[in-house]
Amino acid sequence: MSEIINNYKKIINQIENYKKEFSRTSRNPELIAVSKTFSSDKIQIIIDEGQRIFGENKVQEAQKKWTKLKSTNKGIELHLLGPLQSNKIKPALEIFDVIQTIDREKVVVKIKKHLDLNVTEKKHKFFIQVNTGNEEQKSGVKINEVEEFLEWCTKKINLNINGLMCIPPVNEEPSIHFNILRELCDRLGLVHSSMGMTIDFKAAIQFGATYLRIGSGIFGPRS
């Protein structure tokens, strides 16, 4: 268990050092501790260390772990980082505070309908997932379609889009894709860019990430 604490503190220190190293371009990113596949007791370890922002990939897994964790720990912000299926929208909005993988009109319409019918004090944030590598097998809006999709989401559907996220192709230099995403955010007037994982978060900080998604660097290898 102490290994998780050591890993967590090491990552926090690295982030702070990289923010100083790239002070001219850094946007002071926040850490999302990606807790997918890891148990509640391991998650609680870094909650006790002060971490409050977490990410999960699956709605059902998040419900099982975070319903209790959120009830016993105040100030948690939970991000959905995996694809959102249209039949999982209701539970997703109940457990998650931020959904980073908006990429289809069908999902946007269903989200807005659910929010309109279930008015609460909870203010969700939504990010558009951008397919910066234009990969056929990967989720996300193509680069040349992002502006039109954003305008449709915000002006026609009135959905609160706060930023963009991307997952670079595994065989390409990630900084190219981080630069694309940050420039898109700036051009479209969006504050947040979610990019960078355990293997490449240094470059993400350099290119202006506002959220870093780090899992194995904190919790260790996934089984």
Whole-angstrom Cα Rg for the chain = 17
Q: Rounded distance, CA 53 to CA 44, Å?
A: 12
Mean pLDDT of 191-211: 98
Q: Which of 131, 127, 140 is nearest to 188 (CA)?
A: 127
Q: What are the pLDDT digits (tens) for 69-95?
A: 999 999 999 999 999 999 999 999 999
Q: What are the pLDDT digits (tens) for 104-161?
A: 999 999 999 999 988 777 889 999 999 999 898 889 999 999 999 999 999 999 999 9
- Mean pLDDT, all residues of the chain: 96
Alpha helices in the chain (DSSP H): 2-21, 40-47, 59-72, 89-95, 105-117, 146-151, 174-188, 201-206, 216-219
Distance of CA 115 to the CA centre of its chain: 20
Domains and CATH numbers, the chain: 2-218 (3.20.20.10)
Report the DSSP pairing between strands 141-142 and 30-34.
Answer: unpaired
> How confident is the model at residue 1, as a pLDDT?
57
**Lowest-pLDDT range of 59-68, 120-129, 173-182:** 120-129
